[in-house]
Chains A and B, each alone.
Chain A
Amino acid sequence: MTTDIKTEIDFLPETDSSAALLEVRDLHVEFRTRDGVAHAVNGARFRLQSGQTLAILGESGCGKSVTAQAIMGILDTPPGFVTKGEVLYRGVDLLKLSEDERRRVRANKIAMIFQDALSALNPVFTVGFQLGEVFRKHLGMSRADAKKRAIELLDMVRIPAAAQRVNNYPHQFSGGMRQRVMIAMALALDPEVLIADEPTTALDVTVQAQIMKLLAELQAERNMGLILITHDMGVVADVADWISVMYAGRVVEEAPVHDIYARPAHPYTKALLESIPRLDLKGQQLNVIKGLPPNLTAIPSGCAFHPRCRYARDACRVDPPPPLYETGSGTTAACHFWKEVRGGE
């Protein structure tokens, strides 16, 4: 792909190229609704380096998508408010930037793809027009030039007959192809960070495999940092380098992918792993996690997982919630009894 026009990206003067590519510190997000304040994110944190794949793993309502929206600055405000925390891109706190600056960070530096590609694309414009929009708005290209670039992008994500397909509307594409278009759009300006929010959840497994392979290839080509938000422990095991497990808006465990699966240190991670059936095993007993994920307007005191936890004791039920204990070099787990959890029953 020809990248003759490089965007003017030095509009963030204080960037420190030795700092982590993206770091989130103690992020808090709440939704002020009629039924009360929902604490969607309560101190999320993680760090991403170039070329790394970080998976944020959790069930619906654990705050993983809201975290992504807060990083991108696309949170619905109101009702959503970032109440505390920092989102550092190369050392610059994005939350302190003006809306205009943030808009330039989006797409140029940090881009995002969404779960449902059909509703993320506008049905009344051609795919080519929507892809070209990035170039017209961010680079001020002419329509004709933007379309040429759109064709290159479709080629890049391996859509056959790109020159013809560029004039098609989203409904003329299959689910997998729409997600490819989304990826093309996100990568148009060569971002350094790509946030993929459940990119394959709506797709069939064979198409999922295609898309994950494409993402991995594009990531390797560009040495891009990838944040993969998902609930699928299988996909994570295949692609992630590092995993953050979230529960009720908090990161409860952070570790490299091999450690998480081999020696989970948080009871929630452990229980999740024991509750999913595996393709290559038969007759395994599925361990059920009792109860339900907590209501975010009334998160249990102490450790939010304690009502569902088989290790829970009195210490778990009282505030403050367990801190992220260091469990190894760089790995952490928010459980008072992580040694016991990791050591077995």
Chain B
Amino acid sequence: MSDVVLETKDLVKHFPITRGIVFQKKIGAVRAVDGVTLQLHRGETLGVVGESGCGKSTLAKLLVGLEKPTSGSIVVRGTDIARLKGNEMRRARRHIQMVLQDPYTSLNPRMTVGDIIGEPYEIHPEVAPRGERRRRVQELLDLVGLNPDHINRYPHQFSGGQRQRIGIARALALRPEIIVCDEPVSALDVSIQAQVMNLLENLQNELGLSYIFIAHDLSVVRHISDRVAVMYLGKVVEIGDDTQIYEKPTHPYTQALLSAVPVPDPTLRGQRDEIVLEGDVPSPANPPSGCRFRTRCWKAQEICAEKEPLLVERERSAHPSACHFAEVRDVVHAVE
């Protein structure tokens, strides 16, 4: 488990806000990802949770090289893929693939399933010789639980859950070490979600994959993840293994987030610690000074506006937590 397969250091992505048409003047920046340091170990699933606008999808795009970071590094197999260009970049990308959220828009409706799953081989011909590709694709279909005879069908002939399996097969085609899953089950029906989650877990055990699992559904993330990072406005505010985050959260935002998730058990109604946050997430173009959560935090004091809390282990937090007043509070289970 100690084998690190992916490491990001101070990863930053700012999207410029410009004014003017011909002479575009930069007047600000949306700080989508603002200094994220993560490590992913071999065979591990790292869950990333947060609300919309917290930068989790931008993080996913940075990791697979769909966006260039403003600064910081992404180290995979000893090389910083953020600096690579051209052929080197193409080769490096082979090891880190992505499963997208919406299985309806992420598959080209004019391509057959065989072409969709086989397309990565066009870009990386060294992985599978031309004559072998069709057989490979059929193996992949079989691996994700689809009928290999359906290779010539089109995406519209499949249901949502089956399409997500196609998306997973495409991500597996190049035998990557790491798969970044960006909300892979959120577009699926409840009864289908479990099928896809179980498939992802089985594939991980069989192929020794490492996952970055991005989702807004905290129950889903808990189910599949070994470690969890909680993001708020472009920063990781708390990171730890699943027991630390879910049983002993120490950051107020994590606590509020967990307390807001309903548990499907009516006997817990009114029994859990309830934290209802006021207001909405501030704009990432103009985040609050110091701690970014202070505008919605009930613990906020002057120091929170002045000094940004670092993501470190603290006196009352056994795992890294970016809060000056980090303290364990159980919000998931019933309290007296």
Chain A positions within 8 Å of B, measured between CB atoms, are: 59-60, 174, 176-177, 204-210, 213, 231-238, 240, 257-258, 261-262, 271-273, 275-280, 282, 284, 286-289, 292-293
Contact = CB atoms under 8 A, between A and B. Distances in A.
A207 B193 CA distance: 23
B219 interface: yes
Nearest to A236: B264
Nearest to A292: B159
B262 interface: yes
Nearest to A275: B194
Nearest to A290: B195
B159 A278 contact: no
B51 A277 contact: no
Contacts of B224: 277
Nearest to B161: A292
Contacts of A206: 51, 256-257, 260, 276-277
Contacts of B51: 204-207
A277 B280 contact: no
Interface stretch (B58-66, B170-178, B265-273): B265-273
A280 B242 CA distance: 11
A278 B264 contact: yes
B219 A234 contact: yes
A278 B246 contact: no
A237 B269 contact: yes
Nearest to B259: A209
B223 interface: yes
A262 B269 CA distance: 14
A74 B194 CA distance: 34
B257 A272 contact: no
A286 B198 contact: yes
Contacts of A262: 267
A231 B242 CA distance: 26
B282 to A, nearest CB: 11
Interface of B: 51-52, 159, 161, 189-195, 197-198, 216, 218-220, 222-224, 242-243, 246, 256-269, 276-277, 280, 332-333
Contacts of B256: 206
B267 A234 contact: no
A240 B256 CA distance: 22
Nearest to A295: B159
Contact of B276 (A59, A174, A209, A238): A209
A210 B267 contact: no
A344 to B, nearest CB: 19
A56 to B, nearest CB: 14
B222 A277 contact: yes
Nearest to B267: A258
Contact of B246 (A207, A236, A282, A292): A282
Given A60-B189, A206-B256, A280-B265, 5 more contacts: A205-B51, A237-B268, A272-B191, A275-B191, A280-B246
B218 A279 contact: yes
A308 B105 CA distance: 28
Contacts of A208: 260
Nearest to B274: A209
Nearest to B50: A204
A279 B258 contact: yes
A27 B256 CA distance: 42
Nearest to B269: A238
Contact of B261 (A236, A240, A279): A279
Contact of B191 (A210, A282, A293): A293
Contacts of A277: 194, 197, 219-220, 222-224
A276 B222 CA distance: 12
Nearest to B256: A206
A205 B256 CA distance: 10
Contacts of A273: 264
Given A205-B216, A205-B218, A275-B190, A210 B262 contact: no
A68 B64 CA distance: 43
17 contacts: A204-B52, A206-B277, A208-B260, A209-B276, A210-B277, A232-B262, A233-B264, A261-B266, A272-B191, A278-B263, A278-B265, A279-B218, A279-B222, A279-B246, A279-B258, A280-B268, A288-B194
A257 B269 CA distance: 11
Given A275-B193, A282-B242, A257 B277 contact: no
Nearest to B243: A282
Contacts of A286: 194, 197-198, 223
A234 B191 contact: no
Nearest to A243: B266
Nearest to A173: B280
A258 B220 CA distance: 23
Nearest to B199: A288
A304 to B, nearest CB: 14
A234 B264 contact: yes
A157 to B, nearest CB: 14
A136 to B, nearest CB: 30
B260 A205 contact: yes
Contacts of B266: 237-238, 240, 257-258, 261
Contact of B263 (A213, A272, A280, A284): A280
Contacts of B246: 279-280, 282
Contact of B195 (A213, A257, A284, A288): A288
A232 B263 CA distance: 10
A237 B189 contact: no
Nearest to A176: B280
A287 B193 CA distance: 11
B214 to A, nearest CB: 14
Closest 3 CB pairs of A and B: A234-B262, A277-B223, A209-B260
A257 B264 CA distance: 10
A262 B268 CA distance: 12
A237 B52 contact: no
A242 to B, nearest CB: 11
Contact of A284 (B159, B223, B265, B276): B223
Contacts of A287: 194
Nearest to A259: B266
A207 B264 contact: no
Chain B CB count within 10 A is highest, among A257, A258, A288, for A288
